[in-house]
Chain A
Amino acid sequence: AQSVAQPEDQVNVAEGNPLTVKCTYSVSGNPYLFWYVQYPNRGLQFLLKYITGDNLVKGSYGFEAEFNKSQTSFHLKKPSALVSDSALYFCAVRYDYKLSFGAGTTVTVRA
């Protein structure tokens, strides 16, 4: 079965510091991986995806993600975090025409 895991429930960083949100995956075949963000009382917003090609994927709001096949990871990164990046982040993997989500990581960026 396709699945993803987000090993950290919470990540706390200071504004201006690098932000990393971790995700590992378990799939049979080629992985199709996604990151979403959820701001308070809002729906999920698509950030970026990895389908094939370059291991570094760039997405919305200055986020990027690094696909690492040997470590089965797809970590989300931002070089310089903003207070407005405080939100709930979900990693997901595609199987058939569905998505399986991780449990989510709450990011808090302090001023």
Chain B
Amino acid sequence: DAGITQSPRHKVTETGTPVTLRCHQTENHRYMYWYRQDPGHGLRLIHYSYGVKDTDKGEVSDGYSVSRSKTEDFLLTLESATSSQTSVYFCAISVPAGTPSSYNEQFFGPGTRLTVL
């Protein structure tokens, strides 16, 4: 899993509560990503980061915010969870161009299964 951990791995919460998911990497890669996986939709990008305090929106960012205060940690927050945010959430890092055996392919963490009741 390329030194990527996610916590928690499973969470059940109630509608309207805030939720924070954490992604931690051990290799100081610049780019980090948050995706959600839903049947029939593949993976959809929520937010991504290209450095400490540098973040941008993906295609499904409504209802989510992110923060990156350290290179190794990328947090995803659901401000007020809704049932439509029940999903599996994956964090990924991007190996930079110029590395001899890579060209921006991404490596994924193990995922967090979130259920919003």
Contact = CB atoms under 8 A, between A and B. Distances in A.
Interface size class of A (residues with CB under 8 A): 20 to 34
Interface in A55-111: 90, 94, 97-104
A90 B90 CA distance: 14
A98 B45 contact: yes
A43 interface: yes
A101 B104 CA distance: 14
A44 B105 contact: no
Interface in B45-83: 45, 48, 50, 58
A13 B108 CA distance: 28
B108 A43 contact: yes
Contact of A98 (B42, B58, B109): B58
Contacts of B48: 97-98
Interface string B73-117: 000000000000000001010100000000111111111000000
Interface of B: 1, 31, 33, 40-45, 48, 50, 58, 90, 92, 94, 103-111
Interface of A: 32, 34, 36, 42-46, 49, 51, 90, 94, 97-104
A-B CB proximity, top 6 nearest:
A43-B108, A101-B42, A44-B108, A101-B43, A103-B42, A43-B110
